[in-house]
Structure 1
Amino acid sequence: MELDAVADGRPATASEATPTPTGVVRVEKVRGRSAVTRCFAKYPLKIIVPSKVGPASSGAVWLYILTYGGGIVSGDKISCAVTVGDGCTAAMTTQASTKVYKAVGSKCSEQVLEATVGKDALLAVIPDPVTCFSTARYYQKQVFHVSGDSNLVIVDWFTSGRYESGEKWDFNSYKSVNHILLEEYQPLFIDSVLLEQGSNCTIAERMQEYNVVAMVVLLGPKLKHIQDEMQDEVKKMMSVQLRPPTSGGGRYAARPQPLHPQRPPLVASCSPFGRTGTGMVARIVAVSTESVYTFLRHRLAALEPFLGVAPYSSS
């Protein structure tokens, strides 16, 4: 299948032609419902569009992003362009963690997503985590173009590797970049995470006992109540976990506390962004992958009416 458009949907001209993406998806209203009107993918990318996920009344389109061989091979370059039309709802997810295999020489595995979210539309990018194998090199960039009343959910997270097998923070480099642009060009949210092995300090030494790093972005009027609930719950959770120990006088005084108290198994924080606080970003570090799945499952359960199924409900 030949592609005849660039990422923003306009016909390509000789002066602006770009390399053909490995995947293109367009979601538009058809008879009043969200529907996939274009779907293209080529090796090493595969896109599955199930006919039904959850009750039909939700009207959401689900896209499963996969790679042949169950992971990203050293040197693979994957790029995907997604357009969610006005008033449409779409969810992008994976069937398992994205495995990034060992690097061959200095080759880097790359994934790029460019998405446009229309007016009153909702796009939820809710994958499983990225897991980099020993010596892997990985680069990811996601760019989202939104309007003033677009709605967007981004979950971007990664693990230390196959840590249950003793492989902890043993990859060479990991970089993830997320940009949200309002009305095409105005930066609304810019974020970058970079981990590299250093000559003086390894990634494992910097990360201590933590094995998972996650970021959740919520943007748009439809998600305001979810933002408020998540901020309240995170504040309550962390106020309990980080509360300093109290001690009283007398014979029942508390025992002396250790100089280096044990760190909480999961640490989270929330911050608003945007001129009027229309967006919110939550950041999480945790000892175990399952604890982050639990966090996401509980805090994103309110998306079920929009998507038909609560994110990570089968994890």
Structure 2
Amino acid sequence: METGKVVVERVGGKSAAIHCYSKYPLKFIIPNKVGPSQIDAVWIYTITYGGGIVSGDAIKCDISVGDGCTTVLTTQASTKVYKSVESKCSEQVLEARIGSDALLAVIPDPVTCFSTAKYSQTQVFKVFPSSSLLIVDWITSGRYGRGEKWDFELYKSTNNIFLDADEPLFLDTILLEQGRYSSIAERMQDYQVIAMVILLGPKLKFIQDQIQENVKNLMSQQLRIPSGSSGRYGDIDDNPFLTRPSFLASCSVFGQKGRGVVVRIAAMTTESVYSFLQCQLSGLDSLLGVAPYR
């Protein structure tokens, strides 16, 4: 059963939320205007009662963006997932339909799972060839200041994009689970954040080209081997000339004729990811009214 639903259509030549429904534990906030008056975009903020997702919560959202509309789905703070009680898993499901010449930007703050938490989210997007879609999906190691470093039991995030309702365009799942022989913290080592950014469609083409070039240049600097090294990699912990990069990113295309771009990130600080997103997505203020992660 749906926990929330928003429908955005063009009314009087402008994007407008014509239907908005939510029930406990979910609530939507839709400001009258975000950014300059000439910008045509509906901003939707999702919040949960109690300031986070409680063990056993099941939230299902449905978002429909009509032809020619622009919609932003975001949060006011990080999504906190509280500890699991009786091994219950918290779940969130988002199903979104983006019409022709429409743009949906899903730009939340990161998920932060508390110790022993179990959390699974699934996001399904249905697009047309002229639809545009931005997704930012990221998670921190937890309450690092309290000593909780990758201390949750389970995190699973699935993002699926379908073209013309049923043709798979992008299928992806990230799974972090405590193992019998190694913990998540051991596998993640010094990295405190992992993130994924997906850009798809004609309205985001200029950002796609820019971010591919920027990631290439950034990584060529980060991964440059110091001149004093022997040129042999070996174990990074035993080589005084090599240090583990504080920020790693990769970029690749997907879909026919490379219509989409996906960026994957691992970083040692949340601040560095915020800075990266601010820089790379700053050009979107002309479409969204306000640049993401300002």
Pairwise TM-score range, normalised by the shorter structure: over 0.9
Q: What does residue 160 of structure 2 align with? A: 179
Mapped to 1, the partners of 2:60 and 2:247 lie a distance apart of: 33
Question: Does residue 75 of structure 2 align to residue 99 of structure 1?
Answer: no
Q: What does residue 39 of structure 1 align with? A: 20
Cα shift readout 1:228-275 (whole Å, capped 9, x = no counterpart): 100101100100110112249xxxxxxxx9257211111001000001
Mapped to 1, the partners of 2:19 and 2:228 lie a distance apart of: 64
Question: Does residue 277 of structure 2 align to residue 296 of structure 1?
Answer: yes
Mapped to 2, the partners of 1:262 and 1:208 lie a distance apart of: 13
Question: Does residue 47 of structure 2 align to residue 30 of structure 1?
Answer: no
Question: Does residue 224 of structure 2 align to residue 224 of structure 1?
Answer: no
Query: Which amino acid in 2 is paired with 1:152?
Result: L
Unaligned runs of 5+ in 1: 1-19, 249-256
Deviation at 1:164, TM superposition (A): 2.0
Question: Does residue 268 of structure 2 align to residue 287 of structure 1?
Answer: yes
Mapped to 2, the partners of 1:108 and 1:136 lie a distance apart of: 8
Deviation at 1:208, TM superposition (A): 0.2
Q: How many residues align?
A: 287
SS at match of 1:205: helix
Contact 2:3 2:26 in 1 (8 A): yes
Mapped to 2, the partners of 1:236 and 1:35 lie a distance apart of: 40
Distance change (3 Å), C-alpha of 1:260 and 1:177: farther
Query: Which amino acid in 1 is paired with 2:209?
Result: D
Distance change (3 Å), C-alpha of 1:203 and 1:58: same
Unaligned runs of 5+ in 2: 230-237
Query: Pairwise mapping of residues 1-315 of structure 1 onto structure 2 (< 5 A)?
Result: 20-247=1-228, 258=239, 261-313=242-294
Contact 2:127 2:162 in 1 (8 A): yes
Query: Which amino acid in 1 is paired with 2:29?
Result: I
Contact 2:5 2:62 in 1 (8 A): yes
Please identify the structure whose Cα radius of gyration is greater. Answer: 1
Mapped to 1, the partners of 2:256 and 2:42 lie a distance apart of: 31
Mapped to 2, the partners of 1:177 and 1:261 lie a distance apart of: 34
SS at match of 2:256: coil
Mapped to 1, the partners of 2:247 and 2:145 lie a distance apart of: 18
Deviation at 1:167, TM superposition (A): 0.6
Mapped to 2, the partners of 1:258 and 1:270 lie a distance apart of: 28
Mapped to 1, the partners of 2:215 and 2:40 lie a distance apart of: 31
Mapped to 1, the partners of 2:214 and 2:255 lie a distance apart of: 21
Deviation at 1:56, TM superposition (A): 1.4
State the identity as a percent. Answer: 63
Cα shift readout 1:154-213 (whole Å, capped 9, x = no counterpart): 000000100122110000000000000000000000000001001100000000000000
Cα shift readout 1:256-300 (whole Å, capped 9, x = no counterpart): x92572111110010000011010000000001111000001101
Query: Which amino acid in 2 is paired with 1:59?
Result: D
Contact 2:6 2:63 in 1 (8 A): yes
Query: Which amino acid in 1 is paired with 2:5?
Result: V
Moved over 3 A (4+): none
